[in-house]
Amino acid sequence: MRARTRDWKRVAKLQAEMRRRKVDAFFVVRASNLHYLFNFMPSSGFGIVWPDHAVFVTDFRYETAAHNAVRGAKVIIHRGTLMDELKKNRHLRLEGKVAIEADHMTVDFFEALKSFNQHAQLQPLINVVEEIAACKELEELAKIQQAIKITERVLSEMVGMLRPGLMEADLATEVRYRHRKYGATGDSFDAIIASGKNSALPHAEPGKRKIQKGDFVTFDIGCVYEGYASDITRTFVIGKATPKQRKIYDLVLRANQKAIRAAKAGMDGYDLDKVARDIITKAGYGRKFGHGLGHGVGMEVHAFPRVSRLVHTKLKPNMVITIEPGVYIPGWGGVRIEDDIRIKRGGCEVMTSFPKELIEI
Ligand SMILES: [Mn+2]
């Protein structure tokens, strides 16, 4: 076995979780979970983990790449279809309690799996691998930190460049170019650059609008560095802020800061969301903060857990999550301030360091 395979702990973490849940096998189909567990993400394939071994099944196109990249599992290259392989290969027979990813396996696949494995009891689960992946190893934290560093460098250059007359879409192109120039493989999501009234749309697409004096301009950008994402939002004002702009900005900033002060391991994400939401609600803007407070960040920019009033999830040490309250007033504009934090026992570490006092350009 290769040394790098011996160091690979991720499949073992899932096996430990399987023991706790008394599961005899775990069938993995979600691409990002395959990537996390086995270090490889083909466009087609699956993995099966048993208590003492694992297989990674993919097709001929990935034969060489899979043999080079896959960790923690034996690679099986199928020649027909994935379904044929499942049906014919006796090494893939399943018995006992078999966990499946209820929110990612297609009905088609589920039916096939059931018919080929009549002695297996399929158990639909969600977020098992996702929760393991949410607690980051030190090397993963270093990669996220580097992704953040690159995005903050780009963001500060964008601030230096901002002036009336520039088109949102052109700024988005600059962000993409600079992310790559500074060592990222690309953006972790399509940059959101929203000016004026568009800043009231939390997921605005950068368009042909030109920045004007008096605008709020929101940049929500992130990159991928060695497979790990960053996700940062800052809102700036072009010219001098009006009293209302300053009031809304300060409100969102207070919500962001109070949530950061409250975040710690053992806390329910629901309660953390509430810390920020209560401040905004008390000021009369609760209905203008229509999304959750944050989400996990890792190999995907929107990862487990969601930090929201809609779900309960216990925060654990070394989860990396965003804190991104916002207030959006249709026809007027909006503000969002987003940081990436690492959950620790008794508190958190703020991984982003870009200034948060209102910058007037
Ligand atoms: Mn985000």
| 107 and 169 share one domain | no
Alpha carbon of 227 to ligand 1 centroid (Å): 17
Alpha carbon of 123 to ligand 1 centroid (Å): 32
Separation of CA 353 from chain center: 19
| 152 and 127 share one domain | no
CATH number at residue 180: 3.90.230.10
Q: In which domain, by residue range, is 191 found?
A: 135-350
Alpha carbon of 294 to ligand 1 centroid (Å): 6
Domain count along the chain: 2
Alpha carbon of 39 to ligand 1 centroid (Å): 24
Output phi, psi for 332, to 5 deg: -120, -55
Alpha carbon of 55 to ligand 1 centroid (Å): 34
CATH number at residue 34: 3.40.350.10
Alpha-carbon separation of residue 57 from 198, 206, 348 (angstroms):
46, 40, 39
Alpha carbon of 94 to ligand 1 centroid (Å): 39
The Cα 154–Cα 148 span in angstroms is 10
* Last-in-domain residue among 114, 133, 152: 133
| 221 and 301 share one domain | yes
77 CB neighbour count, 10 Å cutoff: 17
Domain assignment present for 355: no
One digit per residue, pLDDT tens: the chain, 361 residues?
A: 444 555 789 999 999 999 999 999 999 999 999 999 999 999 999 999 999 999 999 999 999 999 999 999 999 999 888 888 888 999 999 999 999 999 999 999 999 999 999 999 999 999 999 999 999 999 999 999 999 999 999 999 999 999 999 999 999 999 999 999 999 999 999 999 999 999 999 989 999 999 999 999 999 999 999 999 999 999 999 999 999 999 999 999 999 999 999 999 999 999 999 999 999 999 999 999 999 999 999 999 999 999 999 999 999 999 999 999 999 999 999 999 999 999 999 999 999 999 999 999 9
Hunting for tokens 């629901």 — which residue is that?
270
3-class secondary structure, 308: coil
| 338 and 236 share one domain | yes
Residues with CB under 5 A from ligand 1 (ion): 231, 322
Alpha carbon of 322 to ligand 1 centroid (Å): 6
| 320 and 181 share one domain | yes
Q: What is the DSSP string of 111-180?
A: HHHHHH-TTEEEEEE-SHHHHHHHB--HHHHHHHHHHHHHHHHHHHHHHHH--TT-BHHHHHHHHHHHHH
| 224 and 157 share one domain | yes
| 68 and 93 share one domain | yes
Alpha carbon of 167 to ligand 1 centroid (Å): 23
Q: What is the pTM of this model?
A: 0.94
* Last-in-domain residue among 82, 115, 133: 133
| 189 and 300 share one domain | yes
The Cα 88–Cα 199 span in angstroms is 55
Alpha helices in the chain (DSSP H): 3-6, 10-21, 31-38, 63-69, 82-88, 107-116, 128-134, 138-161, 168-181, 243-262, 269-282
CB 182 within 8 A of CB 154: yes
* Last-in-domain residue among 108, 133, 158: 133
With residue 98 as reference, give the H or E element that holds it. Answer: strand 96-101
Burial (CB count within 10 angstroms: exposed 0-12, middle 13-18, buried 19+), residue 174:
middle
Identity of the amino acid at 196? G
Alpha carbon of 204 to ligand 1 centroid (Å): 13
Alpha carbon of 231 to ligand 1 centroid (Å): 5
Domain assignment present for 333: yes
